[in-house]
A and B are shown apart, each in its own frame.
Chain A
């Protein structure tokens, strides 16, 4: 392993304007100003995140579809050209190697966006299995900068920059568009619960020219977004927004020991697929016979913040563990995700969390934790 921390195209800007921390082998901004302010910009207007630390693999060839169906748990045949799909890559035991976004950008060309931590592992896994297929895998992580634009004003901002209405591109699409002179894939996806896009900024090689280009686009977003109260957002707001939406984080809420059925990301799993993916048989068994653990959401009744590995108790008996948690800026309470034995609690039940040997009450709650009428991509206004 190389101990030296990697940097994204936007590193110089982050170093000048943000508070940097090590994250999954990368030196990334945790905040620029105030995590709660950045969080609320995403909920109320628009925020931007540098997500270039994630890995981007381009997979193309006449057997790309069959190959990807072997590698991932969603139905790849249902993924249309210019579409996007949330899915998982499993091990033989049905545990999650990684969760990812798969975009189909051409008839026989896909982009696989995977977590920073898992890039090398996934690259090795894909390349090992690709030998049996007519398929070519290219790591484009360093040639494509990636920026997430999230919030109720995100598409208004991007339309303003493009000089045309981009709302014709619906959720979960991925189209090649010109954003103010920047050739990009506009991926209508995100990790905050809000409407918006993840932008794959093409032709941004990891050299001075590419870095300047990515930084200029980042600054264009900030300048054009000023009228909406845009904020650059760090990893702190990335974690708090995804948690309020109930979205899982690899390494905390999902891992090689956890299946997508246990994680209750059921929409990433399909059984009517051909060929069967790695891990299929075990998932089928879990579907029929039941799972050993299940993910729940928690909202603190007492003060305190649930954190990873805190024990969860019901009537004095330990029933599970917290997998991640944060103070919710919307609820102003601690919220968290956890795993418990199936069938022991249901929504609305009160449980206790052992926070440093003091038992604090929390309520089992469905996600998203915010009011979906007021926040998130399905809000009414």
Chain B
């Protein structure tokens, strides 16, 4: 259901239903309201290791819900500098606040300028989820 799905204007989005927020020289990544709603009842989140290198669009973790298991991808290349360890004990934060306390990891991007063109703005992402219905 796209009706009532929250797509904040100030974020960028990937085709894998993740959001990206540029914060100084770091980027914060999480899954979108649409993604958390579609998975529902998230029971476990496997995050990448701090210090590991990730490639854009590569698999770097896992989101488990009562309904399904879903891979987590890195929207950008770079180094993982921090993960949201609160999700270990409280994976439901992703359902409750996908853009807030449910954030997943922070990357120090290695090629932000080269890769950010592949991300969508709120309007383009809203169109993507509307067409998926």
Interface set, chain A 305-327, CB cutoff 8 A to B: 305, 307, 326-327
Enumerate chain B residues within 8 angstroms of A305, measured Cβ to Cβ.
Answer: 43-44, 64, 69
Check B40 against A34 for contact (C-beta < 8 Å): yes
Looking at the complex, which one of A35, A303, A304, A356 makes contact with B66 (CB distance below 8 Å)?
A35
Check A326 against B46 for contact (C-beta < 8 Å): no
Quick one: closest B residue to A356, CB to CB?
B62
Interface centre among A36, A303, A334, A355 (most CB of B within 10 A): A303
A275-314 to B contact mask, C-beta < 8 Å, 1/0: 0000000000000000000000000000111010000000
| Bound: A324/B61 CA distance, A | 20
Enumerate chain A residues within 8 angstroms of B69, measured Cβ to Cβ.
Answer: 305, 307
Check A240 against B46 for contact (C-beta < 8 Å): no
Query: Is A30 part of the binding interface, using a Cβ–Cβ cutoff of 8 Å?
Result: yes
Interface set, chain B 20-78, CB cutoff 8 A to A: 40-41, 43-44, 46, 59, 61-62, 64, 66-67, 69
- How many B residues have CB within 8 A of the partner chain? 13
Quick one: closest A residue to B88, CB to CB?
A303
Looking at the complex, which one of A36, A303, A304, A334 makes contact with B41 (CB distance below 8 Å)?
A36
Quick one: closest A residue to B89, CB to CB?
A303
Given A34-B41, A303-B44, A304-B44, decide whether A240 and B64 contact each other with a Cβ distance below 8 A.
Answer: no
Check B40 against A304 for contact (C-beta < 8 Å): no
| Bound: A35/B43 CA distance, A | 11
Interface set, chain A 184-214, CB cutoff 8 A to B: none
- How many A residues have CB within 8 A of the partner chain? 18
Check A35 against B40 for contact (C-beta < 8 Å): yes
Quick one: closest B residue to A325, CB to CB?
B69
Quick one: closest A residue to B60, CB to CB?
A356
Looking at chain B's contact residues, the main secondary structure is strand
Interface set, chain A 11-59, CB cutoff 8 A to B: 19, 30-31, 34-36
Check A304 against B67 for contact (C-beta < 8 Å): no
Enumerate chain B residues within 8 angstroms of A19, measured Cβ to Cβ.
Answer: 40
Enumerate chain A residues within 8 angstroms of B88, measured Cβ to Cβ.
Answer: 303
Quick one: closest A residue to B37, CB to CB?
A19
| Bound: A380/B29 CA distance, A | 49
| Bound: A307/B62 CA distance, A | 12
Quick one: closest B residue to A305, CB to CB?
B64
Enumerate chain B residues within 8 angstroms of A4, measured Cβ to Cβ.
Answer: none
Check B62 against A327 for contact (C-beta < 8 Å): no
Query: Is A272 part of the binding interface, using a Cβ–Cβ cutoff of 8 Å?
Result: no
Quick one: closest B residue to A303, CB to CB?
B44
Quick one: closest A residue to B62, CB to CB?
A356
| Bound: A325/B26 CA distance, A | 37
Residues of A within 8 A of B (CB): 19, 30-31, 34-36, 236, 240, 303-305, 307, 326-327, 334, 355-356, 358
Top 7 A-B residue pairs of the complex, sorted by shortest distance between their CB atoms: A35-B66, A327-B43, A305-B64, A307-B69, A356-B62, A236-B67, A236-B66
**Can you list 16 A-B pairs with a CB-CB distance of less than 8 A?**
A31-B66, A31-B67, A34-B40, A34-B41, A35-B40, A35-B41, A35-B67, A36-B41, A236-B66, A304-B46, A305-B69, A326-B66, A327-B43, A334-B44, A355-B46, A356-B62
